[in-house]
Amino acid sequence: MSQFEIESLWVENRLDVAFSFGDIVRVKSGENVAKEGRIVALFVLEPLPTYMIELYDGSSVAVVEPDVELVKGNTGDKLLLFKE
């Protein structure tokens, strides 16, 4: 499945994943433990859903779903996809 297909299904809430675009989350383990940011992408589904998180310090980090906890959901942020 392509990145565009994954994110299209994600935006339409047709994937069984824990987080949505724009959710505010906290990293639970690893190098960035306790840092917070917002979900900006879903990269892969297998073996575990992996998200890109834009941290408040301006950096970005890829984190698997079990290593993330929700701080605030339904922020109203929307992801617009454009197929090239």
Residue 79 lies in a domain: no
Predicted local confidence at residue 82, as pLDDT: 64
CATH of the domain at 26: 2.30.30.30
Predicted local confidence at residue 8, as pLDDT: 87
Predicted local confidence at residue 80, as pLDDT: 67
pTM: 0.86
β partners of residue 38: 24, 54
**Enclosing domain of residue 43:** 3-72
Residue pLDDT, tens place only, 34-77: 999 999 999 999 999 999 999 999 999 999 999 999 999 877 67
Q: How many domains does the chain have?
A: 1
DSSP code per residue over 22-72: T-EEEE-SSTTTT-EEEEEEEEE-SSS-EEEEEETTS-EEEEEGGGEEEEE
Residue 77 lies in a domain: no
Predicted local confidence at residue 3, as pLDDT: 86
Predicted local confidence at residue 71, as pLDDT: 94
